[in-house]
Amino acid sequence: MYGGGAERVASRIANALSVDNEVVIFTRSTPDMYQLAENIKVLHFTFPPLLFTFRRRWARFLARPINHYYGYWYLINLLEDLKRKEKPDVTLSMMKVASIMNAFAKGSGLKVLSERNNPSKKSFRYRLWSNLCFRRADRVIFQTETIRNHYSSSIRKKGVVVSNPVLVDCQATGGSKRIVTMGRLNPQKNHTMLIKAFALFSKEHPEHTLHIYGKDSGEENLNPLIESLSLTDKVFIEGFKNPVHPFIVDAEQFVLSSDYEGTPNALLEALMMGFPCITTAFEGTRELLGEDAPCLVTPVGNEVALAGAMARLADDSALRETLSTRAVQFAHAFSMEKIVPKWRNVLFS
């Protein structure tokens, strides 16, 4: 529960289900970033110490896979102990490590696994583990049909497409010259391209600023880029905020610069808040947004096109107003009242 999109979705689903179910969250012992209902039980686990430790590099290299798989075995046993105590009807997992634990742990409960990303853009090891785990699942939740189609027919048969529930606590007001984005600071989100695009945009729009909300190790690479482009007074990495929505309400526009996504929670939240939005055309964009997208769409990795889209929104208040209205109408389909019943149906029917 450390601040990512999957954790945000998990907290929303858990809170909704806790109204008439007993909910237990089994998570790593990291800071809890999302508010959970008081009746939800949160149990923390930690990764085990290394089975083998060596000083020499070659010895550490040889021991790495042994330590790696020992860690999985250790975590699977932790979950089996928990299942013996709690006797769950359903175990739902998100992200790689949790899905490995869920798929291979013995004990009671329908095993439901959820794919949170685009496997075609991930490593061979990620795809291998995903296929192994999903074959052992009772049901697999995919965010889009596009993602489900990356898997074999046997996995697709047990797969169900259910979107993420979206919840926002305020509406966009606009009025500033701020451009905002939200997301982890890792290469998938391609903030590097966003900053370069903003540098082009800023030449003709010097009054605008860019604000990046999120945290990760990628900040180490972004700060030197910001300095090299002489944007230290215009581009700001704001860190993780929860809830983030009150910090961005006055923004003029929202931008998603990702190279790939499962379903981008940040974009859906921005649309629900009523922001004029720009997104890259990651795989699955057409399925998610439809033929008549409620936002501007630019090619993946194209900083010139992205800069041009930001300029269009900055220069055209009528376009911003039109997109804002369409955004709210579109995002209603992803509201809690629309989506949570679908999750209930998958988990309990």
Q: What is the pLDDT of residues 325-339, one digit of tens each?
A: 999 999 999 999 999
Tally the C-alpha atoms within 13 A of residue 107's C-alpha that lie toward its C-beta.
21
For residues 213 and 238, the answer to whether their CB atoms sit within 8 Å is: yes
51 pLDDT band, cuts 50/70/90, is confident
- pTM strictly above 0.75: yes
Q: Are strands 41-45 and 24-28 parallel, antiparallel or unpaired?
A: parallel
List Cβ neighbours of 3 (8 Å cut-off, separation of 6 or more). Answer: 33, 34, 215, 240, 242
Cα 341 to its chain centre, rounded Å, is: 21
Residue-wise DSSP of 264-307: -HHHHHHHHHT--EEEE--TTHHHHH-SS-SSEEE-TT-HHHHH
> For residue 33, is pLDDT > 80?
no
Looking at residue 33, its amino acid is M
Over residues 270-284, the pLDDT tens digits come to 999 999 999 999 999
Q: Where are the beta strands (DSSP E) in the chain?
A: 24-28, 41-45, 90-94, 110-114, 139-142, 159-161, 178-182, 209-213, 235-239, 253-256, 277-280, 296-298
- Rounded-to-integer distance, Cα 179 and Cα 299, Å: 19
- Rounded-to-integer distance, Cα 310 and Cα 254, Å: 9
* CATH number for the domain whose boundaries are 178-334: 3.40.50.2000
Q: Are strands 253-256 and 178-182 parallel, antiparallel or unpaired?
A: parallel
| Angle at CA of residue 5, ends 4 and 8, nearest 5° | 90
29 pLDDT band, cuts 50/70/90, is low
**Domain 5-166+337-348 matches domain 178-334 at the CATH topology level:** yes
Q: Domain segments of the chain: what residues?
A: 5-166+337-348, 178-334
* CATH number for the domain whose boundaries are 5-166+337-348: 3.40.50.2000
**Other Cβ atoms within 10 Å of 44 Cβ, number:** 12
Quote the DSSP letter at residue 121: G
For residues 10 and 23, the answer to whether their CB atoms sit within 8 Å is: no
Mean pLDDT of the 68-97 span: 94
Structure confidence at residue 31 (pLDDT)? 63
Arithmetic mean of pLDDT over the chain: 93
